[in-house]
């Protein structure tokens, strides 16, 4: 039991890398950088497109970004219709 308490205390006192706002910003910025590099990489290899729209530069990246933003914003609206209290079926 004391061991557990010790462990909990250690977890409490230790400052984790992700606790610092600066690290979170670093992660956030590196995602931007990786995306930029991947978009540029698109110009440096031979494509084997099956569909014509695949030829658009960074098609996959743009498609992924746009559908995800659209999806989340759409779901926020959907939630207004579908959301009920947690105990909806238990009442």
Partner 1 sequence: MIADLPPGLILILGALAVPIIPTWARRYYMLALPSLGLLHLLTLPDGLQGQVEMFGHTLTFLRIDGLATAFGIIFLMATFIFMIYGWHEIEVLQHISALIYAGAAVGAVFVGDLITLFIFWELTAIASVFLIWARRTERAYWAGLRYLVFQIGSGVILLAGLALHYRATGSIAFVHLGLVSLGTTLIFIAFGIKCAFPMLHNWLQDAYPEATVFGTVVLSAFTTKLAIYALARGYAGTEMLIWIGALMTVFPIFYAIIENDLRRVLAYNLNTQLGFMVVGIGIGTELAINGAVAHAFTGILYQALLFMSMGAVLYKVGTVKASELGGLHKSMPITAGFCIVGAASISAFPLFAGFVSKTIILTAVAVEGHWLVWLVLLFASASVLHYSGIKIPFFAFFAHDSGKRCEEAPRSMLIAMGITAAICVGIGVWPSGLYQILPFPVDFVPYTTAHVITQLQLLMFSALAFSVLMRTGLYPPQLRSTNLDSDWFYRRLGPAILRSLRDTVSQIYLSALLRTHIRLQRFVATVYRHHGPQGALARTWPTGSTVLWVAVLLCVTLFLYYV
Query: Residues 6, 23, 56, 74: which binds partner 1 (CB under 8 A)?
Result: 74
Rounded to a whole number of angstroms, the minimum distance from the CB of residue 29 to partner 1 is: 10
- Tally of CA atoms within 13 A in the half-sphere of 74 that contains its CB: 6
Q: Phi then psi for 73, rounded to 5 degrees? A: -65, -35
CB 42 within 8 A of CB 54: no
Rounded to a whole number of angstroms, the minimum distance from the CB of residue 4 to partner 1 is: 7
Site string for partner 1, 53-72 (x = CB under 8 A): -----xxxxxxxx-xxx-xx
Rounded to a whole number of angstroms, the minimum distance from the CB of residue 11 to partner 1 is: 5
Distance, first Cα to last Cα, the chain: 40
CB 58 within 8 A of CB 39: yes
* Joined tokens for residue 62: 């743009």
Interface residues with partner 1 (CB under 8 A) are 4, 7-8, 11-12, 14, 16, 18-19, 27-28, 31-32, 34-35, 38-39, 41-42, 45-48, 50-51, 58-65, 67-69, 71-76, 78-79, 81-90
């Amino acid at each position: 039991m004391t061991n557990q308490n010790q462990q909990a205390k250690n977890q409490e006192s230790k400052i984790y890398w992700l606790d610092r706002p600066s690290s979170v910003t670093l992660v956030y910025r590196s995602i931007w950088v990786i995306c930029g590099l991947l978009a540029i990489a698109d110009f440096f290899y031979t494509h084997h497109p099956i569909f014509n729209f695949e030829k658009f530069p960074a098609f996959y990246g743009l498609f992924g970004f746009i559908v995800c933003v659209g999806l989340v914003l759409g779901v926020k609206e959907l939630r207004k219709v579908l959301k009920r209290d947690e105990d909806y079926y238990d009442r």
